[in-house]
Structure 1
């Protein structure tokens, strides 16, 4: 790709980007949110047709002009987006050949469909029945279905946009092994990822994109390329510390959860959170560590207006007094806020503008007599855009067009507007690059410095260790350990997260 330039109204997304990928390599593309990584790959795969950008694409030594995704797929270029493009109600086999059906005399040949699907599934290590509905398999297996679908199209160049963002460690490791196997078969892969440890482990070369331009391409085979080296290229500066400094001033206890038990709404009788007790003080950042399925999100959502779970028991104390949080409205009224781990599904209205999203949880502030004061709503949203450094041309910009880091700032702004005493942050930096993470960390520290109590859920142990004053560990719905900042190590937390031992004194 040579001199690729792509503009949208009000912003130049790509400015003369060059990219060269060798046959049979795993080539990583790194950069901050909004750097232009996904846009570049959409140009390559025909999502953006050739007449919508300038520059040249050459594939297998021949110039290419793709008018659609089908054009690029006919050349062997297949893209797998971060948001998987599968039909949940259809079977795995039906998804694999959707738009590319195995038919005979105008009728679908189901024997051939299922037989070829089974062979493709075997190649990617998927041991399900081809007739299994996609909604009945996990996200990790759905990712494998997408790769098998690409193989059915005789892929030569496979593009994966954040393929492990929603996967647990086991599924991520399996996917990376699969990419190594495809490399051995001669299939070229381009991978976009914020997980730099995975990039260092699997990529042959990495191209760094910053502010819509190519910065450099590093050869991981011949150079000693560390995560810090990639970070400095991404952000344009050295990050001597990935976490901003903070001197905590911890006050009185503001929230205490006692003997909290939650049952699954889908499987009656199954306990998801069992007899959990924890506390948070003003000005304190308390972490919640646990493996996938430990019950961290279920605990947070059940506390916040019983958004999850049935047969919930236990007590919540705010400033020493027992409170009820039976609805989200009640929880907000008591000064609680919850930033969901899935901002696109539960945290934001992506088709609405920044202004409407910021005001959503505190709308009554702008409508004292039942009518929304548009001017005041605009002014407050604009104040947040500046103070939170939300990179958007205007608060009237559609939220869905913003990068992940900026969307997360909009979610935080929405809840800060409600002036909460307690902020529950569930994976606040998921899918966000290291530069944007540092900005989110700074905001979290500032909230604690203002006397807010912060309960932070994260799957990244270095993040918990770098931010938190205390950390609780969960295993199978039970709190199995509590450690202070001074005592916390990854090994100790993992011990509590995996062993399921009773909570220490």
Structure 2
């Protein structure tokens, strides 16, 4: 890809961008959110058409004007934002539009057998007939990967493929990638996780502000050099400062929370000015606890206390009125109204503040607040009237954060707050969370990245199989967290017996 230009209304996304990929190579594509990575790959995969420049495949110029043409040329893509049909099964999603037929009739048996074969090659335990809407984000991500593999592509683009995966699932994915390399498939790997880039990629191309910065060998280039090329500046890596909250009042207390096998007798408290991190393996119950507190899922039993008063929370509306804000791990479905503009998304949880007589909205005030948060959070957008769906994933995440900052909740739950966000934006969000805690906000951070939990948390709650297996102080080791994260029910019971005996 050479001298690629692409503009959208009010913004130039790419300017003379370029990229090359060799057979049997994993080539990482990196840059901050809004750098143009996804746009460049959407041009290669036929989602967008370029305004200028050339694309050569096997040395021959090609015009790719649709995803179907890209697939016919052997170019497949796994998008950062999941594009599955939630009411269909996993198998139906994988082969949509390419279903096997027998005498002109859909062959469901063959469809499911073909899907099962792909899952087996991925070492993925998943029933082909399961409805996608019932799957976790991690399992949906694996279905997306299976769908891309089903095309037998010779160029495979992976845009943040591990954003929702745990360590074991990432290891399986890397095994698949190495197998594809051996078969001569070229893999474009887009990620913000530096450790992954060093582990899996052969070369790294860096983009900034829609332009090509440079290409370097992955093995021989220090992480600091790659980051500097991405952001054009040096990022500070400030050590965790744990405030003294001994005398601080409790802002949120959860007592005996239960919901089937997902949440089992979970109790904890968060003080004003404290960041409580939640760690655990995928499926440990962290997100389920957050959704139950916020009223998104109905709890079977348990009490929620806010500032010393028991509150009845049966819906998200109740939670917001009690001063609780929740940033979901799935921003596309539960955080944003993607068809609305940035201004309306930021104001969404605070519309009562902007509603006058007769239900008329004060658009001028909404605009002032939106523009203020766009500047404060450095949201890359042509303006507050830009549709949220047109922003990069990281900038969409910032819009959701702005929504809860505007609501000024006393208690904030951030579920995977930096999923799909570049290192520069991560640093900004870390500073923001620390600043909110310094203002007296009580903050819960759920993250699958242990370094993130350790960097942010004043205390760390660890879960396994729906249970809270331990509470660690800030500065704990990854080994201590993983020991508690794998402490299953029998181990918990055994520990409790030992404590009683002692």
When the two structures are superposed, what TM-score results if normalisation uses the length of structure 1?
0.89
Inter-CA distance 435–498: structure 2 relative to 1 (3 Å threshold): same
Inter-CA distance 418–92: structure 2 relative to 1 (3 Å threshold): closer
User: Which stretch of structure 1 is more off in the superposition, 433-442 or 102-111?
Assistant: 102-111
Residue of structure 2 in register with 1:405 after alignment: 394
Residue of structure 2 in register with 1:498 after alignment: 486
Residue of structure 2 in register with 1:340 after alignment: 328
1:375 equivalent in alignment to 2:373: no
CA distance in 2, matches of 1:204, 1:482: 40
Inter-CA distance 185–261: structure 2 relative to 1 (3 Å threshold): same
SS of the residue 2:451 aligns to: helix
Residue of structure 2 in register with 1:227 after alignment: 223
Residue correspondences, number: 491
SS of the residue 2:407 aligns to: coil
Post-superposition offset of 1:292: 1.5
Residue of structure 2 in register with 1:58 after alignment: 56
SS of the residue 2:226 aligns to: helix
User: Which stretch of structure 1 is more off in the superposition, 2-11 or 284-293?
Assistant: 284-293
CA distance in 1, matches of 2:426, 2:321: 29
Structure 1 vs Structure 2 CA RMSD: 2.8
CA distance in 2, matches of 1:291, 1:67: 41
Residue of structure 1 in register with 2:35 after alignment: 35
Residue of structure 2 in register with 1:288 after alignment: 278
Instruction: Specify which of 234, 257, 260 is matched with residue 256 of structure 2.
Output: 260
Alignment deviations for residues 467-492 of structure 1 (CA, whole Å, 9 cap, x no partner): 12112212222222222224x11111
Q: Contact conserved, 1:244 with 1:442, CA < 8 A, in 2?
A: no
CA distance in 2, matches of 1:45, 1:182: 19
Q: Contact conserved, 2:34 with 2:380, CA < 8 A, in 1?
A: no
Residue of structure 1 in register with 2:293 after alignment: 303
CA distance in 1, matches of 2:411, 2:41: 40
Q: Contact conserved, 2:257 with 2:267, CA < 8 A, in 1?
A: no
CA distance in 1, matches of 2:139, 2:416: 22
Alignment deviations for residues 210-242 of structure 1 (CA, whole Å, 9 cap, x no partner): 111111112135x2x34333222221223241x
Inter-CA distance 194–294: structure 2 relative to 1 (3 Å threshold): same
Post-superposition offset of 1:274: 2.5
Residue of structure 2 in register with 1:266 after alignment: none
Inter-CA distance 95–284: structure 2 relative to 1 (3 Å threshold): closer
CA distance in 2, matches of 1:38, 1:401: 12
Q: Contact conserved, 1:261 with 1:272, CA < 8 A, in 2?
A: no
Inter-CA distance 129–477: structure 2 relative to 1 (3 Å threshold): closer
Residue of structure 2 in register with 1:170 after alignment: 168
Post-superposition offset of 1:195: 2.1
Q: Contact conserved, 1:5 with 1:54, CA < 8 A, in 2?
A: yes
1:324 equivalent in alignment to 2:319: no
CA distance in 1, matches of 2:30, 2:483: 33
Q: Contact conserved, 1:244 with 1:441, CA < 8 A, in 2?
A: no
Post-superposition offset of 1:126: 5.0
CA distance in 2, matches of 1:317, 1:106: 60
Post-superposition offset of 1:29: 0.7
Residue of structure 2 in register with 1:239 after alignment: 235
SS of the residue 2:353 aligns to: helix
CA distance in 1, matches of 2:177, 2:189: 10
Residue of structure 2 in register with 1:202 after alignment: 200
Q: Which runs of structure 2 are paired with 1:73-472 in the superposition (5 Å)?
A: 73-90=71-88, 94-103=92-101, 106-107=104-105, 120-125=118-123, 143=141, 145-221=143-219, 223=220, 225-241=221-237, 243=238, 246=241, 248=243, 250=245, 252-263=248-259, 270-304=260-294, 306-314=295-303, 316-369=304-357, 370-472=359-461
Alignment deviations for residues 36-59 of structure 1 (CA, whole Å, 9 cap, x no partner): 11110111122223xx42111111
Post-superposition offset of 1:33: 1.0
Instruction: Specify which of 454, 464, 467 is matched with residue 475 of structure 1.
Output: 464
Post-superposition offset of 1:402: 1.6
SS of the residue 1:261 aligns to: strand
Q: Contact conserved, 1:2 with 1:55, CA < 8 A, in 2?
A: yes
Q: Contact conserved, 2:29 with 2:204, CA < 8 A, in 1?
A: yes
Inter-CA distance 165–462: structure 2 relative to 1 (3 Å threshold): same
SS of the residue 1:361 aligns to: helix
CA distance in 2, matches of 1:172, 1:107: 38
Alignment deviations for residues 265-318 of structure 1 (CA, whole Å, 9 cap, x no partner): xxxxx24222322222222212122221222122122222x221332223x333
CA distance in 1, matches of 2:308, 2:88: 52
Post-superposition offset of 1:341: 1.7
Inter-CA distance 207–317: structure 2 relative to 1 (3 Å threshold): same
CA distance in 2, matches of 1:215, 1:34: 14
CA distance in 1, matches of 2:250, 2:154: 57
CA distance in 2, matches of 1:3, 1:376: 42
User: Which stretch of structure 1 is more off in the superposition, 135-144 or 438-447?
Assistant: 135-144
Q: Contact conserved, 1:249 with 1:283, CA < 8 A, in 2?
A: no
CA distance in 2, matches of 1:452, 1:91: 42
When the two structures are superposed, what TM-score results if normalisation uses the length of structure 2?
0.89
Post-superposition offset of 1:146: 4.4
